């Protein structure tokens, strides 16, 4: 057996020629004394006996590939720089939309560079001059508060440099947390910032990345609607996307293309670049004209928690957050918690109520509903009224628990606790997160 490299083949692209003349091309994933295991381009593995191998040709060594990747520029400018076209900046943060299948492991990994995305979707250059920047390459479940601040800084930099809008490629798992965070951090935003993701990696034929990305760019070009939005599939079909307000979006399915839905409101728009059609459903109500863009960041050192109520929860679970600055509680129904003793089996409820009463003296406790759709109303039943009496906030809110968490974190980062309580800032509408009147005709999940 001839091996031109005489090095480990793991992670390298190779061609193996067997003694019977067969050639097999793939990526080396394992090697022992008897076999070399290759991952083929179709995703299948094949084991080849070393004694049957005539020659091994190494096409690309793993070490050289890494060096090449590290030298790639983090920013690329594409398009004709046509003065008749607007400039759109694309900020890449990773996620499935910027991922490909790693045939060494079979997993989906974030690997694409800015130039890769533009080359895969050349239609973007028909819509606008494109500036593409790599901010990070990671999955959204690994994000922390610091990432939101970093993203906001990158957005401001692009808009200040003359871009008419920004697209952020993002993992879908926590995209609605990010869209809410950016909505609050970007004070005075008068241009569109659109987050896009994909449920299937961009190198797959079944990927939903193209539709979401191209429709986001088309929406920015045609409307210049100010605010932070999410652009994802309207249905399971590859025809239209919907534009969802950043503070009213939620991922409602693990894998469907139309996983994201507007909660307690309507979509801003329905978009089809293929049909050259945009249907405006609901305009952004925030007045930003004439305002200067500034950043009101979230302080990662402030401690805010999220706790879901359930039958059998104990007072110790609430007391865990006693030293936190804020706590969002997902109550049941209209905003209820098990705080009333009905019989000898529910004595723990009294201890929960006492724990909450003591905590509320220094920790801001905000109610949200785990029903997702609808509005909190703690005035209706006695458990809710008892919670209001001890200072639980959030009455009449129709925010999702995720937006409630991000908003409370943002409020505690930019206002005093006294101001938040005195001025009812939790239920004050800053970025369209609180609707004035519940919309009975909002989209239900996964029609």
What whole-number distance in Å separates Cα of residue 49 and Cα of residue 35? 5
What whole-number distance in Å separates Cα of residue 179 and Cα of residue 250? 10
- Reply yes or no on whether 160 is catalytic: no
What whole-number distance in Å separates Cα of residue 258 and Cα of residue 270? 13
- Residue 67's contacts (CB-CB under 8 Å, 6 or more residues apart) are none
What whole-number distance in Å separates Cα of residue 207 and Cα of residue 344? 56
Do 222 and 195 form a contact (C-beta atoms < 8 A)? no
**Candidate list 87, 96, 169, 403, residue with the active-site label:** 96
**Candidate list 93, 169, 172, 363, residue with the active-site label:** 172
What whole-number distance in Å separates Cα of residue 90 and Cα of residue 75? 10
- Reply yes or no on whether 251 is catalytic: yes
User: Cα dist. 310→329, 337, 405 in Å?
Assistant: 11, 8, 19
- Reply yes or no on whether 173 is catalytic: yes
Longest dimension (CA), the chain: 84
**Candidate list 131, 221, 251, 261, residue with the active-site label:** 251
What whole-number distance in Å separates Cα of residue 24 and Cα of residue 16? 5
What whole-number distance in Å separates Cα of residue 445 and Cα of residue 442? 9
**Candidate list 10, 157, 173, 427, residue with the active-site label:** 173
Tokens 């050192």 map to which residue?
A: 301
Do 1 and 55 form a contact (C-beta atoms < 8 A)? yes
Q: Which helix (H) or strand (E) holds 201?
A: none
Active site residues: 96, 172-173, 251
């Amino acid at each position: 057996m001839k091996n031109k490299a005489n090095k480990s083949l793991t992670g390298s692209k190779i061609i193996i020629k067997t003694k019977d003349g067969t050639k097999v091309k793939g990526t080396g994933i394992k090697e022992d004394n008897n076999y070399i295991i290759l991952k083929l381009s179709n995703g299948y593995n094949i084991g080849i006996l070393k004694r049957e191998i005539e020659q091994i040709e190494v096409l690309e060594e793993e070490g050289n590939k890494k060096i090449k990747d590290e030298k790639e520029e983090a920013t690329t400018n594409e398009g004709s720089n046509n003065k008749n076209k607007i400039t759109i900046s694309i900020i890449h943060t990773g996620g499935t939309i910027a991922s490909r299948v790693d045939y060494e492991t079979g997993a989906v990994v974030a690997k694409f560079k800015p130039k890769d995305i533009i080359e895969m979707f050349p239609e973007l250059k028909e819509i606008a001059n494109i500036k593409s920047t790599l901010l990070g390459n990671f999955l959204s479940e690994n994000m922390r508060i610091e990432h939101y601040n970093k993203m906001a800084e990158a957005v401001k930099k692009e808009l200040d440099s003359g871009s008419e809008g920004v697209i952020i490629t993002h993992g879908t798992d926590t995209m609605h947390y990010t869209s809410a965070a950016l909505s609050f951090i970007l004070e005075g935003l008068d241009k569109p910032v659109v987050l896009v993701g994909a449920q299937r990696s961009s190198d797959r034929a079944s990927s939903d990345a193209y539709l979401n990305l191209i429709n986001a760019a088309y929406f920015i070009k045609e409307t210049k609607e100010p605010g932070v939005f999410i652009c994802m599939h309207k249905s399971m079909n590859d025809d239209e996307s919907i534009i969802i307000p950043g503070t009213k979006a939620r991922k409602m399915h693990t894998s469907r293309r139309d996983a994201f839905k507007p909660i307690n409101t309507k979509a801003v728009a329905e978009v089809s670049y293929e049909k050259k059609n945009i249907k405006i459903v609901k305009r952004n109500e925030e007045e930003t004209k004439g305002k200067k863009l500034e950043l009101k960041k979230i302080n990662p050192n402030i401690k805010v928690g999220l706790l879901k109520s359930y039958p059998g929860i104990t007072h110790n679970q609430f007391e865990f957050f006693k030293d936190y600055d804020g706590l969002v509680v997902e109550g049941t129904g209209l905003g209820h918690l098990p705080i009333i003793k009905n019989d000898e089996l529910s004595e723990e409820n009294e201890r929960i109520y006492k724990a909450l009463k003591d905590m509320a003296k220094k920790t801001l406790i905000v109610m949200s509903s785990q029903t997702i759709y609808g509005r909190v109303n703690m005035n209706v039943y006695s458990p809710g009224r008892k919670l209001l009496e001890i200072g639980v906030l959030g009455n009449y809110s129709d925010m999702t628990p995720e937006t409630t968490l991000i908003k409370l974190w943002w409020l505690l980062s930019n206002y005093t606790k006294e101001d938040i309580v005195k001025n009812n800032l939790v239920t004050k509408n800053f970025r369209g997160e609180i609707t004035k009147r519940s919309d009975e005709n909002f989209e239900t999940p996964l029609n």
